[in-house]
Amino acid sequence: MRIRPYIEFDPDRGLLIGGLPAVSLAKKHGTPLYVYSEDAIRESMREYTSSLSDIYPTSTIVYASKAYLTMRMAQLVREEGLWLDVSSGGELYLALKANFPPERIVFHGNNKSEEEIAMAVSAGVGRIAIDNVTELERVQKEAASQGVVQKVFLRLTPGIDPHTHEYLSTGVIDSKFGIPMHSGQHLDAVRMTLASENLELMGIHCHIGSQIFDDSPFLLAAGIMVDFAAEVRDKLGYVIPELDLGGGLGVRYKSGCPGICGRDGGRGGNPDVGGRNGAIARHLRAVAKRVKEACLRNGLPVPRLFFEPGRSIVAEAAVTLYTVGTVKALPNGTLIAAVDGGMSDNPRPALYGAEYDAVFAGPYHGGGLLSYRLVGKHCEEGDTLVRSAYLPRLSPGDVVAVLVSGAYQYSMRSNYNHLPNPAVVHVSGGKSFVVVERETLEDLIAKERPLPCSLEEAGPEVAGEN
Ligand code: LLP
């Protein structure tokens, strides 16, 4: 039975990821374990890169690395020909170390430091997405001091409520991100950029939010951005060549969620378009069509169009494997199964109330299922991974898998309670390989500098006067 692309259930072998049994992977690599199918990742990247080739060939897909970034992932993105969105010096550093071509990098962030800007400019990143006027001045100064002209986007906030979780909503006018499209600030920012000798204004950018299932806020944003490009042409005589509409397409975390555009269980749709059932293609085509219409209405040439998907490329491509440690029945009848990870490898349920499905990873031939609350091992009552998972009767040592684990989990991991971070394994061509090793207890204290004696005895070279 197919659960997600490249993730299936076989009654005799149990859960299979890219054809490999989850229980064998757990045995070989230990748990908790993030397991990604590279075929699934590549397939969604290809759906993105191929969807517009006929109707809007001047489009570029930028993978939002904040969803999941390892050096191997950067390599996959490079091989598939996408660009990469990084939003910190750390993500940029990793990308460069992985030999990602800098000219295909978009550098984001709402508070880039001077060091980060210097690093991005000297690396020769393709675009810096400028978030605010202070940053505009900083990037101009840095580019001037390095004697280069830096290509930039201006990140604008169009004032759209995408009706997603409050923490994931970034396009509302009072968002911390971007320059508000309000009382002329955005036009002033364009004017300043055009007047900056070392900046080349390539495009305007917006990202309205994340985990959005409805096309309408994206269509609205597209229209607003093109109308503004027309205003810039009319008032400043400059035709903005590029438009970046960010990411944000939602995915289906739980099976049976109605009416959403997760690629597997979405809205039916035209099977001829895109891979699987084509929700990515339908979404992109609808937005691209709206951009074209708005350009036609304004008499503007169509811009090169950028999209920045993160979650919809990687979320479904991974599962997290855990081993059950203890099982309890609470006085109110709730069954609890505690696993060897929790909110340190997946903070999303605690942070956003995100809901997941878990499945039994071993062979299973039917029989009664029980509802379990799957909890982690952290010292927090809120450390619940899955509120209600229907699983066969569990015993210590059983392996369970939390599905749709590929986005914003590994990248948002922590060491709460000093739990070492899990390993990350990729599966490709029937083989599994470690792309990030499991942390050791030693790693956890590697940066500690305990004093060998009292502070007074340590002397001025340890704790000098400020
Ligand atoms: N572009 C920009 C400028 C962004 O800020 C983001 C996500 C994306 C693209 C990619 O959005 P996606 O396609 O992945 O929705 N930690 C949250 C999600 C935060 C999203 C932040 N920005 C979560 O776990 O749901």
pLDDT of residue 175: 84
Q: List the structure tokens of 277.
A: 């059932």
User: Atom 8 of ligand 1 has which residue's CA nearest to it?
Assistant: 247
Nearest atom in ligand 1 to the alpha carbon of residue 412 is 16
Q: Are 311 and 38 in contact (CB under 8 A)?
A: no
- CA dist 176 → 189, 373, 439 (Å): 17, 36, 34
Confidence label for 367 from pLDDT (cuts 50, 70 and 90): confident
pLDDT of residue 109: 97
CA angle 391–376–417, rounded 5-degree value: 165
pLDDT of residue 277: 66
Q: What are phi and psi of 434, to 5 degrees?
A: -80, 125
Residue to substitute in 44, 66, 212 for testing ligand 1 pocket (most ligand atoms within 8 angstroms of CB): 66
- Neighbouring C-beta atoms of residue 275, cutoff 10 Å: 17
Mean pLDDT of the 419-427 span? 98
Mean pLDDT taken over the chain: 93
CA of 357 to the centre of ligand 1 (A): 21
Nearest atom in ligand 1 to the alpha carbon of residue 250 is 15
- CA dist 436 → 35, 70, 84, 192, 389 (Å): 11, 8, 20, 44, 28
pLDDT of residue 168: 72
Residue 179 has pLDDT above 50, yes or no: yes
- CA dist 341 → 87, 231, 338, 445 (Å): 27, 52, 9, 19
pLDDT of residue 286: 98
CA of 212 to the centre of ligand 1 (A): 10
CA of 213 to the centre of ligand 1 (A): 14
Q: List the structure tokens of 119.
A: 């690093």
Mean pLDDT of the 396-415 span? 98
Mean pLDDT of the 85-95 span? 98
CA of 107 to the centre of ligand 1 (A): 14
pLDDT of residue 268: 33
Instruction: Name residues whose C-beta falls within 8 Å of residue 427's C-beta, 6 or more positions apart in sequence.
Output: 17, 18, 19, 20, 25, 35, 36, 37, 38
pLDDT of residue 455: 84
pLDDT of residue 162: 79
- Span 134-170, pLDDT tens digits: 999 999 999 999 999 999 999 999 989 877 777 677 7
CA atoms 85, 43, 6, 255: torsion sign: positive
Ligand 1 — pocket residues by CB below 6 A?
64, 66-67, 85, 108, 168, 207, 210-211, 246-249, 308-312, 348, 352, 408
Residue to substitute in 308, 316, 413 for testing ligand 1 pocket (most ligand atoms within 8 angstroms of CB): 308
Question: What type of residue is 295?
Answer: C
Mean pLDDT of the 366-372 span? 92
230-250 b/e with 16+ CB inside 10 Å = b? bebbeeeeeebebbbbbbbbb
User: Atom 6 of ligand 1 has which residue's CA nearest to it?
Assistant: 247
- Neighbouring C-beta atoms of residue 452, cutoff 10 Å: 8
CA of 214 to the centre of ligand 1 (A): 16
Q: How many residues does the chain have?
A: 466
CA of 106 to the centre of ligand 1 (A): 14
Q: Which of these CATH numbers, 3.30.1360.120, 3.10.310.10, 1.20.1640.10, 3.20.20.10, describes 38-312?
A: 3.20.20.10
- Span 251-303, pLDDT tens digits: 999 975 432 233 333 333 333 333 346 899 999 999 999 999 999 999 999 99
Q: Report pTM.
A: 0.94
User: Atom 24 of ligand 1 has which residue's CA nearest to it?
Assistant: 408
pLDDT of residue 272: 32
- CA dist 67 → 4, 124, 412 (Å): 19, 23, 9
Q: Are 72 and 300 in contact (CB under 8 A)?
A: no
pLDDT of residue 269: 32
- Span 98-116, pLDDT tens digits: 999 999 999 999 999 999 9
CATH 2.40.37.10, applies to 1-37+313-466: yes
Instruction: Name residues whose C-beta falls within 8 Å of residue 196's C-beta, 6 or more positions apart in sequence.
Output: 136, 140
Q: Are 62 and 82 in contact (CB under 8 A)?
A: yes
Confidence label for 173 from pLDDT (cuts 50, 70 and 90): confident
Every domain of the chain and the residues it spans: 1-37+313-466, 38-312
pLDDT of residue 164: 73
Report, as residue numbers or ranges, the catalytic residues: 379
Residue to substitute in 210, 213, 408 for testing ligand 1 pocket (most ligand atoms within 8 angstroms of CB): 210
pLDDT of residue 365: 79
The yes-or-no answer to whether 1-37+313-466 and 38-312 have a common fold is no
Nearest atom in ligand 1 to the alpha carbon of residue 407 is 24
Residue 331 has pLDDT above 80, yes or no: yes
- Span 199-246, pLDDT tens digits: 999 999 999 999 999 999 999 999 999 999 999 999 999 999 999 999
User: Atom 19 of ligand 1 has which residue's CA nearest to it?
Assistant: 168
CA of 339 to the centre of ligand 1 (A): 28
pLDDT of residue 463: 75
- Span 6-64, pLDDT tens digits: 999 999 999 999 999 999 999 999 999 999 999 999 999 999 999 999 999 999 999 99
User: Atom 20 of ligand 1 has which residue's CA nearest to it?
Assistant: 210
CA of 167 to the centre of ligand 1 (A): 10
Question: What type of residue is 218?
Answer: F
pLDDT of residue 410: 98
User: Atom 22 of ligand 1 has which residue's CA nearest to it?
Assistant: 210
User: Atom 9 of ligand 1 has which residue's CA nearest to it?
Assistant: 247
Nearest atom in ligand 1 to the alpha carbon of residue 408 is 24
Confidence label for 443 from pLDDT (cuts 50, 70 and 90): very high
